[in-house]
Amino acid sequence: MEKYKIVAVVGSLRKESYNLQLAEAVRTKVGSLADFEILDYSDVPLFNEDIEFPAPESVQRVREKIKQADGVWFFSPEYNHFFTGVLKNLIDWLSRPIRENEAQVLAGKPAAVSGASLGMSGTAIAQDHLVTLISFLNMNVMNAPRLTVPSIKQQLNAEGKLALTASEPFLEQQISSFLSFIKKTK
Ligand code: FNR
């Protein structure tokens, strides 16, 4: 069976980010079923058309990772009912081609959306905004299931790490759904 490449894009640069921990939990559960890589884009600069061409090396690197991926999985916090600024900045870069006459790399890519937050919405409102954006960029969005992990503080272990008690079955469901979704696009 073909081993799919999934690139995880975490919308938080925080070292102890719960959304990063959620992505890491997916990587553990996916195991050998897919090649699951968490994208490091911490060195991507703020988008500015003055520095767009030639694209900075960091931008070329992340763009190539997305280009090679069979699927992209977003894990974003909710900041003021929106997804984060760093994620919007990354997507703005990815929405632009490196050269003229080259397609942007997000179009047609299968996309899954998840998020964890301290609040009760579990990033649902931020996810709606993110889906609006990535649909505009013509990503192939898996609208169901999406994963919302609300009230994170209730799902931590004694060390303060994400334990995913109540959300675990939903996470497993999303993994198997996304693998099938990618397969259908092949
Ligand atoms: C938040 N947080 C938050 N939580 C939420 O459920 N809804 C919201 O609208 C917001 N808004 C918000 C704005 C800003 C600027 C910050 C810094 C935080 C809290 C948020 O859920 C919490 O900080 C998470 O831990 C952030 O995710 P990571 O970094 O742990 O992945």
DSSP assignment string, 60-87: HHHHHHHHH-SEEEEE---BTTB--HHH
| 108-144 confidence digits (pLDDT tens) | 999 999 999 999 999 999 999 999 999 999 999 999 9
| 54-81 confidence digits (pLDDT tens) | 999 999 999 999 999 999 999 999 999 9
CA of 114 to the centre of ligand 1 (A): 14
Neighbouring C-beta atoms of residue 149, cutoff 10 Å: 25
| pTM for the full predicted model | 0.97
CA of 183 to the centre of ligand 1 (A): 33
Cβ of residue 24 lying under 6 Å from some atom of ligand 1: no
User: Counting atoms of ligand 1 from 1, which one is nearest the CA of 14?
Assistant: 29
Mean per-residue pLDDT, 155-161: 95
Share of the chain above pLDDT 70, in %: 99
Residue 102 confidence (pLDDT) = 87
With beta carbons less than 8 A apart as the criterion, state whether 164 and 149 touch. yes
- Residue ID of nearest Cα to ligand 1 atom 16: 79
Q: Distance from first CA to last CA of the chain, Å, rounded?
A: 12
DSSP assignment string, 120-185: TTTTHHHHHHHHHHHHHTT-EE--SS-EEE--GGGGB-TTS-B--TTTHHHHHHHHHHHHHHHHHH
State the average pLDDT for the chain: 96
Residue 151's alpha-carbon distances to 52, 53, 63, 117, 129, in angstroms, are 39, 43, 33, 6, 20
CA of 167 to the centre of ligand 1 (A): 18
- Residue ID of nearest Cα to ligand 1 atom 12: 79
Lowest mean pLDDT, pick from 93-107, 134-148, 171-185: 93-107
From 74, 87, 117, give the residue whose CB has the most ligand 1 atoms within 8 Å, as the site to mutate: 117
Cβ of residue 76 lying under 6 Å from some atom of ligand 1: no
